[in-house]
Amino acid sequence: MAITSDLDIVNAACALLSVDPLQALTDELPGGQAAQTLYEPIIDLCLGLAPWSFARRTQQLGRLAGVTSPLGFAHVHQLPANRVGPPERLLADPSRPGSAVWAFDYDEEGRVHSDAEILYAQYTARVLPAMWHPVFRAAAIHAVAAGFCELLTGNSTMAAEMQAKAFGTPSEAYRGGMMRAALSADARAKPARNLPAHSNPLLAAWGTDATGWR
């Protein structure tokens, strides 16, 4: 059976733990909290570990009319609700990598303040498991199994084993185990970026851009 939904991920984790599958993410776990309450932070952690190519999105931000920035900028834009963490980059024109906006600030309401009238964000989005790289999906299933294990089985030893299989040792900062394999697989799917000349003073001084002589 194809694993295409969040519930599929949870039930694949349940299968690893040899426990009955859930009927919905709103089902209560033994601790009294809904499965979704535990699931979402685990997946946000996994997605937030890297700018995964399968979850990378570029979106024009909505400029908030009539809103004055208390930070001294000319404009305020609303960040996407489906983002995981702050954007990777802010751009004035997504077709021009050299148009990155460097002067900006965020506020606690999920808005970005800058002097750019038109603003795009490149960010990691919460995408459905059907979009995930297969290696990332396998790592995420083990991560969810680790998070659910003690509540569903009472077996803390198994929980630690699942955690180590998903993320490696604590010294690897969640980038070991199966997640290391996912990071390597995803890196092969990303095109190389050319460095804009204006961002490298040495290249600019020698009259070159990132690809060679002008």
**pLDDT tens digits, one per residue of 44-88:** 999 999 999 999 999 999 999 999 999 999 999 999 999 999 999
Q: Are residues 64 and 96 in the same domain?
A: yes
In a domain, 77, yes or no: yes
Chain centroid to Cα 158, Å, comes to 27
Q: Are residues 27 and 121 in the same domain?
A: no
Residue 76 neighbours by CB distance under 10 Å: 23
Q: Are residues 73 and 165 in the same domain?
A: no
Range of the domain at 141: 6-50+133-187
In a domain, 199, yes or no: no
Q: Are residues 63 and 107 in the same domain?
A: yes
Nearest-Å Rg of the Cα atoms of the chain is 21
In a domain, 109, yes or no: yes
In a domain, 195, yes or no: no
Query: In the prediction, which pLDDT does 206 show?
Result: 55
In a domain, 167, yes or no: yes
Q: Are residues 121 and 73 in the same domain?
A: yes
Lookup: tokens for 150:
């003690």
In a domain, 15, yes or no: yes
Using alpha carbons, select from 79, 124, 74 the residue that is nearest to residue 106: 79
In a domain, 214, yes or no: no
Q: Are residues 75 and 89 in the same domain?
A: yes
Structure pTM?
0.84
Tally of domains in the chain: 2
Using alpha carbons, select from 48, 44, 104 the residue that is nearest to residue 73: 104
Query: In the prediction, which pLDDT does 178 show?
Result: 98
Query: In the prediction, which pLDDT does 213 show?
Result: 41
Last residue of a domain, one of 84, 108, 125: 125
What is the average pLDDT across 194-211?
Answer: 52
Share of the chain above pLDDT 90, in %: 83
Residue 24 neighbours by CB distance under 10 Å: 10
Q: Are residues 11 and 115 in the same domain?
A: no
Cα three-residue angle 67-126-74, rounded to 5 degrees:
20
Start-to-end Cα distance in the chain: 54
Residue with tokens 């399968």: 54
Query: In the prediction, which pLDDT does 89 show?
Result: 95
Using alpha carbons, select from 120, 119, 104, 118 the residue that is nearest to residue 69: 104
Q: Are residues 45 and 66 in the same domain?
A: no
